[in-house]
Amino acid sequence: MKLSSVLAAVSVASVSSALPLEAVADSADARDVNPFRGKNYFANAFYASELDQTVAAFLARNDTLNAARTRTVQKTGTFVWVSNVAGLKNIGETIADARAEQRRTRRPQIVELVLYNLPDRDCSGGASGGEFTSINNGLELYKTKFVDPYAAELKAAKDLTFAVILEPDSLGNVITNQNLPFCANASTIYEQGIAYAIANLQAPNIALYIDAAHGGWLGWDDNLPLAAAEFGKVVKMAQNITKRAKIRGFATNVSNFNPYVANPRANYTEYSNAFDELHYAEALAPHLTNNSLPAHFIIDQGRAGKQNTRTEWGDWCNAEAGYGIIPTTETNSTVVDSIVWAKPGGESDGPCGADVAGTPAPNAGKWWDEYTQMLVVNANPPLKPTYKNQLQ
Ligand SMILES: *[C@@H]1O[C@H](CO)[C@@H](O)[C@H](O)[C@H]1NC(C)=O
Ligand SMILES: *[C@@H]1O[C@H](CO)[C@@H](O)[C@H](O)[C@H]1NC(C)=O
Ligand SMILES: *[C@@H]1O[C@H](CO)[C@@H](O)[C@H](O)[C@H]1NC(C)=O
Ligand SMILES: *[C@@H]1O[C@H](CO)[C@@H](O)[C@H](O)[C@H]1NC(C)=O
Ligand SMILES: *[C@@H]1O[C@H](CO)[C@@H](O)[C@H](O)[C@H]1NC(C)=O
Ligand SMILES: *[C@@H]1O[C@H](CO)[C@@H](O)[C@H](O)[C@H]1NC(C)=O
Ligand SMILES: CC(=O)N[C@H]1CO[C@H](CO)[C@@H](O)[C@@H]1O
């Protein structure tokens, strides 16, 4: 049932009592239509709470404008990263919060989650190694202790729609980093793990996006067919487990700084046709179609607001940046479902990159408030302010 028809049927007297949740949920299969359309990008409470100190820092300097801009970030949907077994509890909390918001606003919510815990994770970088290793039965533990409970939570919350990014960086490493022995070893584990996750996260309220790295990595002409073939292989492996298993599409540039539309294009992109993420998505799309894969994308712009601050494409760590385009389905591209904010801006990439306001970068995942303040000030388009009296 459409939300509008439900609302029309509700009498004024009953508005204060909660709608049955099933009535609010969208009946369309999130895998067959753009699942973001008509939904509110749910803004998770944890990220909003991290930003409280950013608001306070601006207010301490009497910078009410940037404090108000930060409040806008607090209301913007970002992905919740679920990166280990202990983090599974965040799913339940997020679901409870999103339901409350759905009841309060009577707008269907889309809840954004990253699933990130493969055995031998981050085989090329090592900065984000995880809790499971293949030599310690990691694949079995990943399936039973992580993916199974993860899938059960989402399937039970039929009243919400989920967009899930699967395993950032992993298939990118399978495609281009076979020369690294640890990645070569990890490849079959990655493929089996992701296939299992796809096979088990099949439900009409779950839209899966396989991570497709970014234009500076897989966007080179020679890499595009290899990438599409690898994605096709993994989806077929999933269909071997769950017949007709399907994904919605692909996520690009997770945690990166590449602009959606470059202006001007950066010199380090040399001759690549995928010199920004929109060109990357459109270049990869026909290869996906040829591999019987859906050519739909979500593109992270959480830290892509300030262009051309880097000298090398490979610079991935805490680059000078600003918040980018606010999540939207108005993407000007038929292959792009939505601009999203996947990386929660302000959580450090690791102890690397330049100091900001005299402070060095903390360890990966740790909050870095000076960096966050920079993201607010550098945001492009500039963030609309939300003053305190506008909070509801
Ligand atoms: C902020 O504004 C208040 C009131 O105008 C003033 O008393 C205070 O000194 C200002 N603080 C700073 C850091 O400028
Ligand atoms: C790769 O796997 C083989 C066989 O299990 C093992 O002997 C070797 O040490 C592994 N190499 C790396 C770099 O992990
Ligand atoms: C699917 O399963 C069949 C039969 O077990 C096997 O021959 C085939 O290689 C599998 N395909 C993939 C992509 O895993
Ligand atoms: C690219 O290099 C040229 C020549 O050095 C320079 O003029 C231009 O500003 C550079 N473009 C960007 C986006 O940095
Ligand atoms: C897709 O397949 C068609 C038909 O085989 C072919 O003409 C076209 O070049 C292929 N496109 C890509 C991007 O590989
Ligand atoms: C889409 O195009 C319009 C008009 O050119 C532009 O204002 C808008 O910023 C574009 N949206 C994105 C996401 O690039
Ligand atoms: C999934 C993906 O592409 N991740 C990359 C995002 O961008 C950063 C910075 O370039 C890379 O380090 C990540 O590997």
CATH topology of domain 3-390: TIM Barrel (3.20.20)
Ligand nearest to the CA of 241: 3
Give the ligand 6 atom nearest the CA of 332: 1
Closest to 169 measured CA to CA, from 238, 132, 120, 135: 120
Give the residue, 392 or 321, on which the prediction is more confident: 321
Q: How far is the CA of 257 from the centre of ligand 7 (A)?
A: 8
Q: Using alpha carbons only, give the angle 21, 26, 27 rounded to the nearest 5 degrees.
A: 110
Ligand nearest to the CA of 168: 7
Q: How far is the CA of 127 from the centre of ligand 7 (A)?
A: 12
CA 376 – CA 382 distance, rounded (Å)? 8
Q: What is the pTM of this model?
A: 0.90
Mean pLDDT for the stretch of residues 164-172? 95
pLDDT for position 320: 95
Q: Where are the beta strands (DSSP E) in the chain?
A: 40-41, 80-82, 109-115, 161-166, 206-211, 249-252, 297-300, 336-340
Q: Are the CB atoms for 211 and 172 separated by under 8 Å?
A: yes
Got the DSSP string for 247-292? --EEEE-TT----SS-SSPPGGGTT-S-SSHHHHHHHHHHHHHHTT
217 marked as binding residue: yes
Q: Is the CB of 266 under 6 A from ligand 4?
A: yes
Q: How far is the CA of 299 from the centre of ligand 6 (A)?
A: 14
Mean pLDDT for the stretch of residues 43-53? 97
**pLDDT above 90: percentage of residues in the chain:** 85
Give per-residue pLDDT as tens, 195-254.
Answer: 999 999 999 999 999 999 988 889 999 999 999 999 999 999 999 999 999 999 999 977
Phi-psi region of 213 (alpha: psi -120 to 50; beta: other; left: phi over 0): left
368 marked as binding residue: no
332 marked as binding residue: no
Res. 256: pLDDT tops 90: no
Query: How does residue 388 score in pLDDT terms, banded at 50, 70 and 90?
Result: confident
CA 219 – CA 202 distance, rounded (Å)? 29
**pLDDT above 70: percentage of residues in the chain:** 92
Res. 34: pLDDT tops 70: yes
Q: How far is the CA of 185 from the centre of ligand 2 (A)?
A: 6
CA 39 – CA 185 distance, rounded (Å)? 41
Q: Are the CB atoms for 73 and 344 separated by under 8 Å?
A: no
Active-site amino acid positions:
122, 169, 349
| Average confidence score pLDDT of the chain | 91
Got the DSSP string for 215-250? HHHH-STTHHHHHHHHHHHHHHHHHHHSTT----EE
- One-letter amino acid for residue 217 of the chain: W
CA 138 – CA 99 distance, rounded (Å)? 33
Q: Is the CB of 241 under 6 A from ligand 3?
A: no
Give the residue, 26 or 282, on which the prediction is more confident: 282
Give domain limits for the chain: 3-390
Give per-residue pLDDT as tens, 337-368.
Answer: 999 999 999 999 999 999 999 999 999 899 99
Res. 17: pLDDT tops 60: no
Query: How does residue 374 score in pLDDT terms, banded at 50, 70 and 90?
Result: very high
Mean pLDDT for the stretch of residues 265-286? 94
